[in-house]
A and B are shown apart, each in its own frame.
Chain A
Amino acid sequence: DTEVTQTPKHLVMGMTNKKSLKCEQHMGHRAMYWYKQKAKKPPELMFVYSYEKLSINESVPSRFSPECPNSSLLNLHLHALQPEDSALYLCASSQDVLRRAGEQFFGPGTRLTVL
């Protein structure tokens, strides 16, 4: 299985809602990443998990809360988002963070719209 899966594919939420994005991989990768991508822009790194521990938080507002329950799963909990948070949220994984960080496999993304 060489796939990263993400659910849901699309999500529309109000500013007072609480929702979660999910990401799963079964490649035995020990590094997982959340990216945010706005239209016509490259992906921007949000969080990096290495061996289930948060290793990088790129100054992301606290309304985004990542969670790594185990080595295969990565969640992104959303609360009190703003309309400008609407974007494609991409999950990626790589074998590890140090030596193989470059070879990241991306999931299909969740397209989030905040009303």
Chain B
Amino acid sequence: EDKVVQSPLSLVVHEGDTVTLNCSYEVTNFRSLLWYKQEKKAPTFLFMLTSSGIEKKSGRLSSILDKKELFSILNITATQTGDSAIYLCAVSAGNMLTFGGGTRLMVKP
């Protein structure tokens, strides 16, 4: 059975801090790993990673995949209160997405 595990479950930081969110996976027929941010409603797409060692960046967010060790990290630098959300990691295998349990991030002013 495909499995995606995220850590930590929750995190509280102050504005300006840097955070690292972790995602490990065990899936067959791996195609890609995705990060989503979910606030009150739908998950919004952040990154899709398919190759090991290539960092993807978008503003203060960056992510990298290690296909040998089967994990990915999502970094957020200079956090802001607007970064408060649940961050979901999902792995695309075959024709389905398997989601991790999410990391709930709270950024305090």
Q: Which of A71-114 contact B (CB under 8 A)?
A: 88, 90, 97-99, 101-109
Among the listed stretches B52-60, B62-70, B94-102, which one makes contact with chain A, having 4 or more residues with CB under 8 Å of it? B94-102
Task: Indicate if the CB atoms of A106 and B44 lie closer than 8 Å.
Answer: yes
For B100, the chain A residues whose CB sits under 8 A away are 42
Q: Return the CB mask of B7-20 against A: 1 if under 8 Å, else 0.
A: 00000000000000
> How many residues of chain A are within 8 Å of chain B by beta carbon?
26
How many B residues are at the interface, by size bracket? 20 to 34
Complex contact B41–A101 (CB within 8 A): no
Q: Which of A13-21, A48-56, A61-69 contacts B (4 or more CB under 8 A)?
A: A48-56
A28 at the interface (CB under 8 A from B): no
A27 in the interface (beta carbon within 8 A): no
Would you give the shortest CB distance from B88 to chain A, in whole angstroms? Answer: 6
Residue A43 interfacial (CB < 8 Å): yes
B36, B97, B99 — most chain A CB neighbours (10 Å): B97
Point out residues on B near A: beta carbons under 8 Å: 31-34, 36, 41-45, 48, 88, 90, 92, 94-97, 99-102, 104
